[in-house]
Amino acid sequence: MKIKLYLDEDVDTKLAPVLRQLGWDTITVADVNRRGFDDEDQLLYATENERTILTHNTSDYTKLNKLFWNKSLTHHGIIVAPQRDLKFLLKCLRNLLNELDSEDMIDHVEYLTKWY
């Protein structure tokens, strides 16, 4: 099954329509009225909706991954990306999304720069 993306609040919302146009199921925090929720709540929401979260917040989300693991909680994946221009992010995301599926992302943190 294809990865469904949930773009965290810190990700440029201009990325979402481009990904949608390319056929990727993508929503943003703004789309679902979740601005201002803390990172753990965002990850729980993503998981409940079988979405992989895309964020620039490497530090907090890698800690959340460990916290979930320690509590024996599962999540639907975290993609951490550097704050770069949309062209770079899109190239890396397309490579990742064409190679991995949603099952690959369960309880996994993927670093986007690996997919350049």
Mind listing the pLDDT tens digit for each residue in 46-105?
999 999 999 999 999 999 999 999 999 999 999 999 999 999 999 999 999 999 999 999
Rounded CA separation 19/73 (Å): 29
Contact indicator for 78, 109 with CB cutoff of 8 Å: yes
pTM over 0.85: yes
R_g of the chain computed on alpha carbons? 13
Rounded CA separation 78/105 (Å): 7
Residue 112 pLDDT level (bands cut at 50, 70, 90): very high
Structure tokens given for 70: 């320690």
Rounded CA separation 29/94 (Å): 21
| 3-class DSSP assignment, residue 101 | coil
pLDDT at residue 109, rounded to an integer: 97
pLDDT at residue 46, rounded to an integer: 98
pLDDT at residue 26, rounded to an integer: 98
Structure tokens given for 26: 């993508």
Tell me how far the alpha carbon of residue 55 is from its chain's centroid.
6
pLDDT at residue 90, rounded to an integer: 96
Rounded CA separation 105/109 (Å): 7
